[in-house]
Amino acid sequence: MSHNRHTMIDTQKAAQEQKIQMADAMAKVKAEMVICENQIQKQVSLLDKNKHEILLAAKKMTDTVKELIRDLQEHVTTMKAKIYEIYEAQQKHHAT
């Protein structure tokens, strides 16, 4: 068909061609979405793993500090006992 020096096509044929092009475009978009969703899922998994590791590290640090404090408190008690022994020995020595 011809009309004022340009070619015309049937609307049904034009609609069908556009439908095919849009279906192709949608298929490409869906494929990209699957790729993006997979990448997002990987990132979420890594984030969860990092969060878990950070929480474990924080707990380990807290436990270590508590253990060190407990050890230091025991050391203080032991040292005080020794100091009092020395004091008592000196008192006996001075008394005699």
pLDDT one digit per residue (tens) for the chain, 96 residues: 555 666 777 888 889 999 999 999 999 999 999 999 999 999 999 999 999 999 999 999 999 999 999 999 999 999 999 999 999 999 999 988
Measured CA to CA, the distance from residue 28 to residue 34 in angstroms comes to 10
Give the model's pLDDT for residue 13.
87
Domain regions of the chain by residue span: 50-96
Q: Which residues of 43-60 are buried (b: 16+ CB within 10 A; e: fewer)?
A: eeeeeeeeeeeeeeeeee
Please give the helix or strand (H or E) that residue 29 lies within, else none: helix 11-95
Instruction: Please state the pTM of the whole predicted model.
Output: 0.57
Identify the three-state secondary structure at position 80: helix
